[in-house]
Every structure is written in structure tokens, then in C-alpha cells.
Amino acid sequence: MSFARSSVSRGALLTIAMRWTDRLVGIVSTLILARLLTPDDFGVIAMALIAVGLADVLMDLGVNVALIQNRNATQAHYDTAFTLRLIQTTLATALLFAVAPLAAEYFQDPRVAPVLQCLAFTLLLAGLENIGIVALHKNMQFGAEFRFLFARRIAEFTLTIAAALWLRSYWALVVGTLAGRTVGVGLSYAMHPMRPRLSLERFREIFAVSQWMLVRGIGEFFHNNLHRMLVGRWAPTPTMGAYTLADEISVLPSAELLAPINRALFPALAEAKDRSDALKRMFLLAQSIQTLIAIPAAVGLALVAEEAVVVLLGEKWRLAVPFVQVLALVAIAHAITSCGGYVLLVLGRMRSVTLVTWSQVALFAALALTLLRGGEALEIAGLRLAVAAAGIGLSLWLILRALPSVRIGELAAASIRPLAAAAVMTFAVTALGQAEELGPALLLVAKIGLGLLTYPAAVLALWWLAGRPAGAESWLLERLHTLRRRRTGKPTSAG
């Protein structure tokens, strides 16, 4: 068990570094592009990318998950997965090219059609990437995976910025995306020795897993994009650009903490799925760590949204402020439920994961189309937050069914202290007021500093009052103690 924890810890650190480096490049790219382009430019690309994502997910068989779940995957499995993915992306590319005029009509902007027809080829390029890259994740070779993703990201960043400086229009994003994908194909074969062949030998085995991943993937797409689709239909293009960028910014703090942990955790959970006690311990610890760090990140972004948008993006993006304030809070629900979703996946509960996703899609669609027809973008954001909160109960109920040894009190304990401490942080930062005499930049620094002081203090105080139970706080303090002893040259205890 200590080896598994060590592997997950090392993997999490590597994937955090990988993810944060990738996102840092992405953030820098966004900040530069926000200065060079306008909300209208971002709006056109956002509309086209929704259509790209829909075509991709409608054909996506989730072959990566099928390979990771299969401990005994052979070359034949990888060849079959590569072939299925290439068929999927070829069909999706052709579909997008054909329906581009219809997408432009839906979004009421003729510029969407030619952009979409060009971006359609990004799917075909994705299908041509070496499937061997999945083996790096499956085998927890996170260092090699980091080098591949970083090189691909830097190439796309450089090419996109160069195109933006040259074109000063939304076409820069199209050129940069296509060029980056092309470089990624070459890198995938240069950095992994596997040479996949066209084959459907293991179709039945791959499809047995991937059919539910397809249904879930479509649900995930609508869960993440239906609100954008309605904003794109009902709101002006600049509002769509501001809303989309706000949505992307809103998930950054929490997602960049949760995603790398889950990425490292997934293979480890798969290894422990036949040992219920080990699986329970790993799940509860991961759940408590995720809520401890992701909840304050989400609340903190909502508290500093106005200053962050003005300082980082500029005054022309102030339209995005209220969207960030609302959408950032959606990440709280994700922090509470994401780890449980991975447990359901490794236990083969595909139907349960799919149920959670589609129930939220159905609820959002029903309420939006009956209560908000032609509604304001901010109302759509508020509805998304309400539906995400409603989905927490169903997710936790399914986890309790999948892991009978887990008690509801144990699940509640993983979130109650972070939520209470975030409330304390909110009170402290709000009490600071606007302090307009400081200016946006200094006020942003002051709010962040106050949050970084009050949240940890509140968490530790609540943990102490609760009797210092085992959990995220004790785990992190133990790691800090171990790190300090190593730095001072003192021996650490085994295990």
C-alpha cells in the first residue's frame, strides 16, 4: 500500500508540474491574444469550436480509457484502438465540413462556416497521432508524457502568437491550432517507438468498454457546452466571446489542481479495484485532498474576478466579470464529485457515471428551454451553477452504492471543513471592500494575500477543534514534516 501511495504521490507531482506548465503556456497565450484580439474574434472561434467538439464527441469511442483499464493490453489492442480512432476522426471531419453552413445559420454569423471547415481538419490530425502515447499514461511514465505535451504546447503557442501578430484577426487562432496539431503528430512518432497498424482484431473487447464511454462523452459535451450553445444562439457575438473566455478562466484554478491528481490517481485506482479496503482508503484521502485545495481556489477566483479580469485582460473584457463570478463556483461541485467519478469508472460502473452526466444535461435543458428562452447570458450562468449543485447528491449516492463500506459521514467530513473555511475567507476578503484608492492591481494582490492567510488558518483551526482526525490536513502536514526533515538531513521513518 505504501508503494501505491508513493507512486500516486510521485505521479501526482509530475502531472501537476506537467499540467501547470501546459496551462501556464496556455494562460500566457490567452493573455497575449486577449490584448491582440477582441471579444468578437473570440466569439467567432468559440462558436466554431463548439461544433468541432460536438462532431468529435459524437464519434468518440473512448479508446484511451479502454486501453488504460486493460492491464494485459497487447499490440493488437493498440492497433485496434488506433484504427477505431482514425475512423472516428475521419468521419467527424467530413461531417463538420458538410454541416458548417448549418452551424453558421444556427449561430447567426456567416463567419463561422469557413472557420469551421478549416478547424474540421484538426480532428483528422488528432486521429493520426501515435496511439503509443497512451501507453506512457497507462504505465505511469509521466516524465516522458510531460516532454511530449510540453513540446506540442510550445509549438502551438509560438505559431499562434506569430499568426496573431501577423493577421490581427480570429484567423490567427485557426492557423495556430492547425499548425500545432500538425507538429503534435510528428512529435508523437518521434517520442514513442510504437508504430500502429490498421486492424480491427480486438474490436469486440475495445467496443465493450467504449460504447458506454461514447454515451458518457456525448453527455459530458452537452454538460460542459450546452450553456455556451444557448449563449451563442441568444446573445451577440462579443458576449459569446466574453462568456466563453470567462468559462475557461473560471475552471482554471480548480481544474489545474484536480486534473493532474485525477490523471495520476486513475491508473492507481485501477490497480486497487479488487482490494476494497485499499480502494476506499485511496478514494477518501484523494477526495479530502481535492476538496481542501479546489474549493478555496474556486471561491477565491469568484472573490477577485473584477480585479483579475481588468488587470490581466484589460478594460475591454470587463463584460466577462459577472460570468467569472458565477461560473467559478461551479468548480465546487466538481471538486466534491470528480474523484468519485473515477472510482465508478474503474469499478466498471459506466452506466452510473453516464446517469450523473445525462441527468444534469436533461435538467439544465428542461429549465433553460422553459424558463430562459432568449434569456440573458448571466441567467444561463446562474442556471448552470444551480444544476451543478443539484448533481452533487446523485453523485454521492451512487458512490455509496458502489462502495458500501464508505459511510455518508466520511464523505461529508471530506468537504465540511474546506467549505466552512472558504466561508471564513469570503467574509474576510469581502470585509476588505473595494478599496478603490489602491487601484485594481494592488487590490488584487491584497485580496489574494488575505485569502492565502485566512483560509489555511481557518482550516487548521477547524481541524484542531475536530480532534485532528486523519485526512487531508494530517496527510499534508506529514508530507511537509518529511520534506523538512529531508532538507535538514534527518532520517525519516519508513513507509
Asked if residue 3 belongs to a domain, the reply is: no
What is the gyration radius of the CA atoms in the chain, in angstroms? 23
Identify the CA nearest to 381 among candidates 208, 234, 194, 485. Answer: 234
d(CA 111, CA 113): 6
Let me know if residue 119 belongs to a domain: yes
Q: Is 201 among the domain residues?
A: yes
Per-residue HEC secondary structure of 352-420 comes to: HHHHHHHHHHHHHHHHHHHHCCCCCHHHHHHHHHHHHHHHHHHHHHHHHHHCCCCCHHHHHHHHHHHHH
What whole-number distance in Å separates Cα of residue 16 and Cα of residue 420? 26
pLDDT score of 135: 73
DSSP state of 305: H
Contact of 104 with 111, CB cutoff 8 Å: yes
Using CA atoms, how far residue 6 sits from 13, 27, 494, in Å, is 11, 31, 12
In a domain, 378, yes or no: no
- What whole-number distance in Å separates Cα of residue 338 and Cα of residue 434? 34
245 within domain boundaries: no
Dihedral sign from CA coordinates of 356, 360, 363, 369: negative
Give the per-residue pLDDT at 137.
66
Looking at residue 227, its pLDDT comes to: 92
pLDDT for the residue 157:
83
What pTM was computed for the model? 0.73
Q: Phi and psi for 240 in degrees, rounded to 5?
A: -60, -40
Ordered DSSP codes for 102-126: HHHHHHT-TTHHHHHHHHHHHHHHH
Identify whether 8 is part of a domain: no
- pLDDT score, position 383: 94
Q: How far is Cα 324 from Cα 319, in angstroms, rounded to an integer?
A: 10
- Dihedrals φ, ψ of 87, to 5°? -60, -45
Copy the grid coordinates of residue 127: 486521429
Cα 423 to Cα 332, 415, 449, distances in angstroms: 13, 12, 16
State the residue range of the domain holding 152.
Answer: 31-212
- Phi, psi for 110 (deg, rounded to 5): -65, -20
Q: Which helix (H) or strand (E) holds 9?
A: helix 2-36
Residues listed for the chain: 495
Locate 64 and state its grid cell.
Answer: 484511451
DSSP classification of residue 317: G
- Alpha-carbon distance of 236 to 377, in angstroms, equals 10
Residue 260's pLDDT is: 62
Burial class of residue 412 in the structure, from the number of CB atoms within 10 Å of its CB (0-12 exposed, 13-18 middle, 19+ buried):
exposed
What is the grid cell recorded at 254? 480548480
Inside any domain, residue 2: no
The pLDDT of residue 495? 39
**pLDDT the model gives residue 494:** 42
- Res 489: pLDDT: 62
Please tell me the predicted confidence (pLDDT) of residue 5: 47
pLDDT of residue 382: 93
Name the residue type at position 320. Answer: A
Per-residue pLDDT of the chain (495 residues; tens, 9 = 90+): 443 444 455 555 555 566 566 666 766 777 777 777 788 888 888 888 888 888 777 666 667 666 766 667 788 888 888 898 888 889 889 988 998 999 999 888 899 999 999 989 988 898 888 887 777 766 666 667 777 777 888 888 888 888 888 888 888 888 888 988 898 888 888 888 888 888 888 877 777 666 666 777 788 888 888 999 899 888 888 899 899 889 988 877 666 667 666 666 666 676 777 777 778 888 888 888 888 888 999 999 999 999 999 888 888 889 999 999 999 999 888 888 888 887 887 777 777 878 888 999 999 999 998 888 777 899 999 999 999 999 998 888 988 888 888 888 888 888 899 999 999 999 999 888 766 667 788 899 999 999 999 999 999 999 999 888 887 888 888 877 777 777 666 655 443
292 neighbors 418 (Cβ within 8 angstroms):
yes
CB atoms within 10 A of CB 148: 20
Count of the separate structural domains present in the chain: 1
DSSP tag of 319 = G
110 in a structural domain: yes
Check: CB of residue 180 under 8 Å from CB of residue 149.
Answer: no
Q: What is the pLDDT of residue 14?
A: 59
Round to whole Å and give the CA distance between 52 and 13. 32
Q: Which of 250, 290, 263 is nearest to 414 (CA)?
A: 290
- Locate 299 and state its grid cell: 471561491
